[in-house]
Amino acid sequence: MSDPTSAPAFTPRVFSGIQPSGGLTLGNYLGAMVKFVDMQDRGDFETVYCMVDLHAITAKLIEPATLAHNTRELCAGFIAAGIDPEKSILINQSQVPEHAQLGWIFNCVARMGWMDRMTQWKDKAGKDAERASLGLYAYPALMAADILVYHATHVPVGEDQMQHLELTRDIAAKFNHDYGVDFFPLTETVVEGAATRVMSLKDGTKKMSKSDPVDASRINLTDDADTIAKKFRKAKTDPEPLPGSLDGLSARPDVRNLVNIFAALEGTTPEAVLASREGGMLGHFKVELADLAVAKLAPISTEMARLMDDPAEIDRILARGAERAREITVPILQRTYEIVGLVGHAP
Ligand code: AQP
């Protein structure tokens, strides 16, 4: 990662979000949240973390009470994982209207050809794209607005979001070029660690996802110890023992996934995990992995449950976060409108 002070025109600022489209998974935790906490605690950045509720309604209709529950539970998950609402700005996207307002401007900057190339659009719309929502298609332009309405310089994400971050830079560059300004930063993607892409426990070639219809394919942060142990025990693997190095896993994606998860939970590397376990049987490794996962995740799920006992306090945290966020987003949106030539928005 580059030195955050190397872009003096912009305050070093981190933005990232998670959709409240279901419960939090181990993929969200290892691919995103662990880094969110790390970047908050380093003190090099202002940090803004978001429940992207407007994105959550793009794929399918979510029952309104479920969406509200998911949003509060996600907020509880952020805090339980170590996000401090005093140190970081913690918001739900819809309470900061400048996200959607800048999203409209970016709908007019982004090109159809760019959107057509987005693999997440192709995956989620599938073969029946005509029945997919316009919101799902425009999702990456709103995501660019989520980031750029803060002039965020760094975005920690899992690997699956890299293409959307490239698009964010394309939108910023085209806006700056079209209007002859140097207004939006070219945001840096931060993809780091042993578990930048946590895979399904049932198919090591497919991403672990909160909306996968098969619950056994993922670890939910709200799963109890028995469920976690059972899911790892039943994770798809093969009868071969563990090799001593990563070369031996190149054709074994399911096992590679478990090794990556172990390394990320332990804070080591996949190489180190294998080095001390060469020849070990997978049955034993799965028990070790389940014990480690329970030790790491149980305090988070207990704290989430405690926070969810007081939803009014969660709502207060989000309202306060939105107030703080708008101190940043209102002037950036006003200036954008001014640059574009929309009348009546001078600061
Ligand atoms: N399996 C994963 N491995 C590593 N990182 C992951 N992330 C998600 N799944 C994994 C990272 O978590 C952040 C928030 O993602 P999101 O929930 O907003 O969207 P998503 O990537 O589409 O996640 P899901 O679970 O697959 O959601 P649904 O099923 O609703 O589409 C991002 O930084 C993402 O990289």
pLDDT tens across 173-185, in order? 999 999 999 999 9
Q: How confident is the model at residue 6 (pLDDT cuts 50, 70, 90)?
A: very low
- Based on the fold, state whether residues 147 and 37 are members of the same structural domain: yes
- Mutational test site, ligand 1, from 71, 160, 164, max ligand atoms within 8 Å of CB: 160
124 is catalytic: yes
Answer whether 160 contacts ligand 1 (Cβ < 6 A). Answer: yes
Strand partners, 46: 13
Q: How confident is the model at residue 126 (pLDDT cuts 50, 70, 90)?
A: confident
Residue in 35, 127, 207, 286 annotated catalytic? 207
CA distance 63 to 53: 13
Residue nearest to atom 26 of ligand 1 (CA): 209
Give the mean model confidence (pLDDT) for residues 195-211.
Answer: 94
Strand partners, 190: 156
9 CA → ligand 1 middle, Å = 31
Paired sense of beta strands 46-51 and 89-92, if any: parallel
Residue 1's pLDDT is: 52
Tell me the C-alpha to C-alpha distance, in Å, between residue 26 and each of 85, 160, 169, 230, 346: 22, 15, 28, 15, 45
- Based on the fold, state whether residues 89 and 187 are members of the same structural domain: yes
- Based on the fold, state whether residues 17 and 121 are members of the same structural domain: yes
Helix axis angle for 225-233 and 282-308, nearest 10°, is 150
Instruction: Report the percent of the chain where pLDDT is more than 70.
Output: 97
Structure token pair of residue 154: 């760094």
Answer whether 18 contacts ligand 1 (Cβ < 6 A). Answer: yes
* Residue 2, in any domain of the structure: no
Give the structural domain span for 24. Answer: 13-194+310-340
Q: What is the CATH number of the domain that holds 17?
A: 3.40.50.620
**Dihedral angle of Cα 4, 7, 11, 14, to the nearest 10 degrees:** -50
CA distance 32 to 160: 11
- Based on the fold, state whether residues 161 and 43 are members of the same structural domain: yes
Res 216 pLDDT > 90: yes
Res 47 pLDDT > 50: yes
Give the mean model confidence (pLDDT) for residues 218-243.
Answer: 95
For all residues of the chain together, what is the average pLDDT?
Answer: 94
Residue 51's pLDDT is: 98
Res 243 pLDDT > 60: yes
230 is catalytic: no
- Based on the fold, state whether residues 187 and 324 are members of the same structural domain: yes
Answer whether 190 contacts ligand 1 (Cβ < 6 A). Answer: no
Answer whether 209 contacts ligand 1 (Cβ < 6 A). Answer: yes
Give the mean model confidence (pLDDT) for residues 1-13.
Answer: 65
Q: How confident is the model at residue 229 (pLDDT cuts 50, 70, 90)?
A: very high
Res 324 pLDDT > 70: yes
- Based on the fold, state whether residues 100 and 160 are members of the same structural domain: yes
Residue 5's pLDDT is: 45
Q: How confident is the model at residue 155 (pLDDT cuts 50, 70, 90)?
A: very high
Give the pTM. 0.93
Res 29 pLDDT > 60: yes
- Based on the fold, state whether residues 296 and 324 are members of the same structural domain: no
- Based on the fold, state whether residues 34 and 125 are members of the same structural domain: yes
pLDDT tens across 71-110, in order? 999 999 999 999 999 999 999 999 999 999 999 999 999 9
Counting atoms of ligand 1 from 1, which one is nearest the CA of 161?
A: 35
Counting atoms of ligand 1 from 1, which one is nearest the CA of 21?
A: 30
Residue in 60, 87, 124, 127 annotated catalytic? 124
Q: What is the CATH number of the domain that holds 281?
A: 1.10.240.10
* Residue 347, in any domain of the structure: no
CB atoms within 10 A of CB 317: 20
Answer whether 93 contacts ligand 1 (Cβ < 6 A). Answer: no
282 CA → ligand 1 middle, Å = 27
Q: Three-state secondary structure along the chain? A: CCCHHHCCCCCCEEEEEECCCCCCEHHHHHHHHHHHHHHHHHCCCEEEEEECHHHHCCCCCCCHHHHHHHHHHHHHHHHHHCCCCCCCEEEEHHHCCHHHHHHHHHHCCCCHHHHHCCHHHHHHHCCCHHHCCHHHHHHHHHHHHHHHCCCCCEEECCHHHHHHHHHHHHHHHHHHHHHCCCCCCCCEEECCCCCCCCECCCCCCCECCCCCCCHHHCCECCCCHHHHHHHHHCCCCCCCCCCCCHHHHCCCHHHHHHHHHHHHHHCCCHHHHHHCCCCCCHHHHHHHHHHHHHHHHHHHHHHHHHHHCCHHHHHHHHHHHHHHHHHHHHHHHHHHHHHHCCCCCCC
Res 28 pLDDT > 50: yes
Residues whose CB is less than 8 angstroms from the CB of residue 11 and which lie 6 or more positions away in sequence, other chains included:
46, 151, 153
Res 7 pLDDT > 70: no
Res 209 pLDDT > 90: yes
207 is catalytic: yes
- Based on the fold, state whether residues 20 and 150 are members of the same structural domain: yes
Answer whether 67 contacts ligand 1 (Cβ < 6 A). Answer: no
- Based on the fold, state whether residues 183 and 264 are members of the same structural domain: no
CA distance 184 to 64: 35
Answer whether 19 contacts ligand 1 (Cβ < 6 A). Answer: yes
